[in-house]
Amino acid sequence: MTALLAQISDLHLDGTARATRRAVRVMDYLRALPRPVDALLVTGDIADHGDEAEYEEAAQILTAPFPVLTCPGNHDVRAAYRKALLGLAPGDRPVNQVHHIAGTAILMCDSTIPGHDEGRLDTETLGWIDATLRELPDGTPALIAFHQPPVELHHPMPDSGRLEHPEELAALLDAHPRVAAVITGHAHTAAASIFAARPLIVGPAITWTLRLPWESDQPADLDQPPALAFHILDNTHRLTTHYRAVL
């Protein structure tokens, strides 16, 4: 079976018309595709301040005829994210969710440390990932998604807030060859690398695009269009990613 997934990230919805317009533009594009995606992954920084009103807007904008899978980012606030976006019971523990999409297990993991930009998969989340992967039927591929990339991207901004203790996740992936790739956001630039011998794919941002150090000293480019990624996981469990700007 082949899974066709879209990924958006870093909407930073803040109540401004600009943020709303950019998110709506991308969702309109996805809803109008002649072949709908099997699911949309939203890899964090959905709200800019973590207010309930921002999640109420996000819930409206992200309404779609395909499943929408989310994880929080460093700008998200667990309590409001749980209540106003997911409709879950209150609480401040990590929000980890597994979804079964087109024969693939997609683990949307909470890598946030409340009040910090950098991320970490805490003991509870690492245990949940391990147990969830162990319970899957033989032959079921998995994807793991969370917010902060676990490797250097060679830009001081995302590198100062990346996933800490990535060796803990790498050890877990070594024990679970069914994990085909790791997917993140946070960097506001479409990027690709390798982590634990898997593809590490970083989705572009909706809100603004990161200028690279050799492009400019001013990191935030507000003029580039919002962008998304399409991921195809084929029946050999190989991931292919296409990036698309939405003008």
For 134, the 3-state DSSP assignment is helix
Phi, psi of 180 (to 5 degrees): -85, -25
Site membership for Fe ion, residue 189 (CB under 5 A): no
Select the span of 25-33, 49-57, 118-126, 182-190 touching Fe ion (CB under 5 A). 182-190
List the one residue out of 149, 143, 191, 189 whose CA is nearest residue 166: 149
**By the rule CB under 5 A, 45 interacts with Fe ion:** yes
Does residue 186 belong to the site contacting Fe ion (CB under 5 A)? yes
Q: Point out which residues pair with 108 in neighbouring strands.
A: 97, 145
Q: How many residues bind Fe ion (CB under 5 A)?
A: 5
- Does 54 bind Fe ion (CB under 5 A)? Our answer is no
Of the pair 73, 141, the CB lying nearest Fe ion is at 73
* Residue (162 or 178) nearer to Fe ion, CB: 162
Among 3, 7, 8, 10, indicate the residue that binds Fe ion (CB under 5 A). Answer: 10
Which residue, 155 or 178, has its beta carbon nearer to Fe ion?
Answer: 155
Strand partners, 116: none
CB 99 within 8 A of CB 145: no
Question: By CB under 5 A, which span of 22-30, 33-41, 53-61, 70-78 interacts with Fe ion?
Answer: 70-78
Single out the segment in contact with Fe ion by CB under 5 A; choices: 81-89, 150-158, 181-189, 208-216.
181-189
User: Which C-beta is closer to Fe ion: that of 73 or that of 226?
Assistant: 73
Q: Do 124 and 93 contact (CB within 8 A), yes or no?
A: yes
Q: Decide: is 22 part of the binding site for Fe ion (CB under 5 A).
A: no
Question: Helix crossing, 52-61 with 17-31: angle to 10°?
Answer: 30
CA 51 – CA 79 distance, rounded (Å): 9
Touching Fe ion, residues 131-150 (CB under 5 A): none
| Contact assessment for residue 210 and residue 202, using Cβ atoms and an 8 Å cutoff | no
Q: Do 188 and 44 contact (CB within 8 A), yes or no?
A: no
Query: Helix-strand-coil percent breakdown of the chain, rounded to 5?
Result: 25, 30, 50
What does the per-residue mask of binding to Fe ion show for 73-112, with x meaning CB under 5 A? xx--------------------------------------
* Residue with token string 């309590």: 79
Give whichever of 127 and 156 is closer to Fe ion, judged by the CB atom: 156
Query: Which positions lie near Fe ion, rule CB under 5 A?
Result: 10, 45, 73-74, 186
